[in-house]
């Protein structure tokens, strides 16, 4: 049972340390909406989302007012559309975007496919439709899972996704390639992630659930300020205790939202998701540990400590911690990361190394607009390999900003922030990417 005093303890975190509930996400299973053609499926999906989510925003607003806890976003995730579509997946995309607008949520996720071991003709049509869909919709997000520890890496899908990302940037050039911010390429994607753009409702989930994503880098940073100069054991305990407090608030909001909406409570995702606001940065947490800047020697070790203690604190606070849960390192959404890149102290290669120990992967990174599709595919393959071999979720969300070169800046606004365009290795990898086929799963995938 959550006591009132635990909520009172959060008031300082809310008012001074940027603590918030980043998202209340309703997951909706659309498998029962599949019909004989995609237009009928689209209508059935629209009807079900209207019915299930009609009170989601009003309940979120009421909880925010009653508890005094900021709830930044209300979102919906749905069954991957690749499991529903046949010959015209785009019409389902328009229906999902319309549903999101009608019920008033910020984003709806699920326009994607699970193709880590192969793709159906319908899923291939969906992948090909993505650039036009993300250029033409407002609130729709999507993801594609191209690899897993059990299946290996589908390099045919990786090659396609390099082209999809490149084309999406070109079609949204007037917005500096922002369409790519709505698309994530995963390895080992999870079914209960409430965060966009990668959220989808997995086939192992209930018909409808509430998942909550909690965030508080500023809270952790402030706690570490009080442990200045202490050994790592003290730092670890401080982070763990802080994560415990944050998770308890998230569980309260999740349980109450689920009760009022009449659906099951799924999970709390305790991910330290930063914002461009000063004082709400994962990079500043690493600096508080003793690094002059993110990217300095020791950065990966510091991030490993942070990620692990966030998870341990979370599972102490709730038996329903899930999603991604850890520390995110998106460049455009973290002022400390932005400053490190601008100072020349944080490279794409160092960020890749950091993804071995953080929650997800290469996130919200602007790269030169003339970066080739195969180079993007190579970045995706490298990140997928890290996820496959280490049995963890990894992802790529890069924006090849049209007309921009390394050192320029792109500005996406709001929570998406702004980003310096980072240089990318220019050596040719065409022969590697064009091989196609599958990179086999590692030996340790044989666990049965």
Q: Provide the CATH topology of domain 25-187.
A: Anaerobic Ribonucleotide-triphosphate Reductase Large Chain (3.20.70)
The residues spanned by each domain of the chain are: 25-187, 208-431
- Express each pLDDT in 58-68 by its tens digit: 999 999 888 88
Classify residue 315 by burial, with Cβ atoms within 10 Å: 0-12, 13-18, 19+. Answer: middle
Question: Percentage of the chain surpassing pLDDT 70?
Answer: 96
Residue 258 zone, left/alpha/beta (φ > 0; ψ -120 to 50; rest): alpha
- Express each pLDDT in 15-43 by its tens digit: 444 567 889 999 999 999 999 999 999 99
At 420, list the tokens. 């310096």
At 240, list the tokens. 């763990």
Q: Provide the CATH topology of domain 208-431.
A: Anaerobic Ribonucleotide-triphosphate Reductase Large Chain (3.20.70)
Task: Return the pLDDT at 13.
Answer: 52
- Contact (CB, 8 A) for 110 and 200: yes
CA dist 254 to 29, 40, 202, 238, 309, Å? 19, 33, 19, 25, 22
Query: What is the pLDDT confidence band of residue 166, given thresholds at 50, 70 and 90?
Result: very high
Residue with tokens 């800046």: 409
Residues 6+ apart with CB under 8 A from 283: 274, 293, 294, 329, 334, 335, 336, 337, 339, 340
Task: Return the pLDDT at 309.
Answer: 93
Whether the per-residue pLDDT at 46 is higher than 90: the answer is yes
Query: What is the pLDDT confidence band of residue 10, given thresholds at 50, 70 and 90?
Result: low
Strands 208-215 and 20-28: antiparallel
381-398: b (≥16 Cβ within 10 Å) or e? bbbbbbbbbbebbbbbbb
Please give the Cα distance from 246 to 295 (Å, whole number).
27
- Express each pLDDT in 129-156 by its tens digit: 999 999 999 999 999 999 999 999 999 9
Please give the Cα distance from 10 to 14 (Å, whole number).
6
Higher pLDDT, 372 or 323: 372
Query: What is the pLDDT confidence band of residue 7, given thresholds at 50, 70 and 90?
Result: low
Whether the per-residue pLDDT at 6 is higher than 70: the answer is no
Share the mean pLDDT of the chain: 91
- Express each pLDDT in 77-118 by its tens digit: 999 999 999 999 999 999 999 999 999 999 999 999 999 999
Q: Any idea what the Cα angle at residue 416 is, between residues 361 and 335, rounded to 5°?
A: 80
Could you give the maximum distance between any two Cα atoms of the chain, in Å? 65
- Express each pLDDT in 365-416 by its tens digit: 999 999 999 999 999 999 999 999 999 999 999 999 999 999 999 998 777 8
Classify residue 255 by burial, with Cβ atoms within 10 Å: 0-12, 13-18, 19+. Answer: middle
- Express each pLDDT in 224-250 by its tens digit: 988 888 999 999 999 998 888 888 888
Q: Any idea what the Cα angle at residue 313 is, between residues 309 and 318, rounded to 5°?
A: 145
Query: What is the pLDDT confidence band of residue 420, given thresholds at 50, 70 and 90?
Result: very high
Where are the strands (E) in 62-171, listed by range? 71-78, 107-109, 113-114, 140-148, 152-154
Question: Percentage of the chain surpassing pLDDT 90?
Answer: 74
Whether the per-residue pLDDT at 220 is higher than 80: the answer is yes
- Contact (CB, 8 A) for 135 and 172: yes
Task: Return the pLDDT at 167.
Answer: 98
- Contact (CB, 8 A) for 171 and 179: yes
Please compute, for residue 43, the number of CA atoms within 13 A of its CA located in the half-sphere on the CB side.
Answer: 5
Give the residues across from 141 on adjacent strands: 109
Task: Return the pLDDT at 15.
Answer: 47
């Amino acid at each position: 049972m959550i006591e009132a005093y635990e909520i009172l303890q959060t008031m300082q975190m809310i008012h001074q340390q940027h603590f918030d509930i980043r998202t209340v996400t309703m997951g909706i299973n659309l498998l029962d909406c599949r019909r004989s053609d995609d237009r009928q499926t689209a209508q059935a999906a629209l009807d079900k989302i209207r019915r299930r989510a009609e009170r989601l925003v009003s309940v979120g607003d009421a909880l925010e007012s009653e508890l005094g806890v900021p709830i930044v976003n209300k979102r919906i995730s749905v069954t991957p559309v690749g499991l529903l579509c046949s010959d015209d997946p785009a019409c389902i995309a328009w229906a999902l975007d319309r549903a999101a607008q009608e019920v008033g949520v910020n984003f709806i996720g699920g326009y994607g496919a699970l193709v880590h071991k192969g793709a159906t003709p319908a899923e291939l049509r969906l992948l090909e439709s993505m650039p036009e869909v993300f250029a033409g919709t407002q609130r729709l997000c999507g993801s594609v899972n191209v690899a897993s520890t059990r299946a290996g890496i589908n390099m045919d899908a990786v090659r396609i996704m390099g082209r999809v990302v490149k084309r999406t940037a070109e079609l949204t050039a007037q917005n500096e390639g922002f369409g790519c911010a709505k698309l994530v390429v995963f390895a080992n994607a999870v079914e209960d992630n409430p965060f966009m753009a990668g959220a989808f409702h997995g086939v192992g989930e209930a018909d409808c659930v509430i998942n909550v994503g909690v965030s508080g880098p500023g809270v952790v940073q402030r706690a570490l300020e009080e442990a200045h100069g202490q050994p790592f054991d003290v730092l670890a305990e401080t982070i763990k205790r802080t994560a415990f407090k944050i998770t308890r608030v998230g569980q309260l909001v999740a349980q109450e939202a689920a009760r009022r909406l009449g659906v099951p409570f799924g999970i709390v995702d305790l991910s330290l998701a930063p914002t461009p606001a000063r004082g709400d940065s994962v990079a500043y947490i690493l600096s508080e540990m003793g690094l002059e800047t993110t990217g300095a020697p020791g950065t990966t070790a510091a991030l490993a400590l942070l990620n692990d203690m966030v998870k341990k604190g979370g599972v102490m606070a709730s038996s329903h911690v899930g999603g991604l849960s850890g520390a995110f390192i998106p460049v455009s959404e973290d002022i400390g990361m932005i400053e490190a890149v601008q100072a020349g102290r944080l490279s794409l290669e160092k960020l890749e190394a950091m993804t071995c120990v953080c929650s997800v992967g290469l996130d919200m990174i602007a790269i030169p607009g003339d970066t080739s599709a195969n180079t993007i595919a190579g970045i995706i393959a490298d990140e997928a390999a890290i996820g496959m071999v280490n049995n963890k979720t990894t992802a790529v969300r890069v924006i090849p900003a049209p007309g921009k070169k390394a050192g320029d800046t792109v500005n996406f606004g709001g929570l998406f922030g702004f980003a310096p365009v980072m240089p990318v290795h220019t050596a040719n990898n065409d022969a590697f990417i064009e091989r196609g086929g599958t990179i086999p799963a590692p030996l340790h995938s044989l666990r049965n």
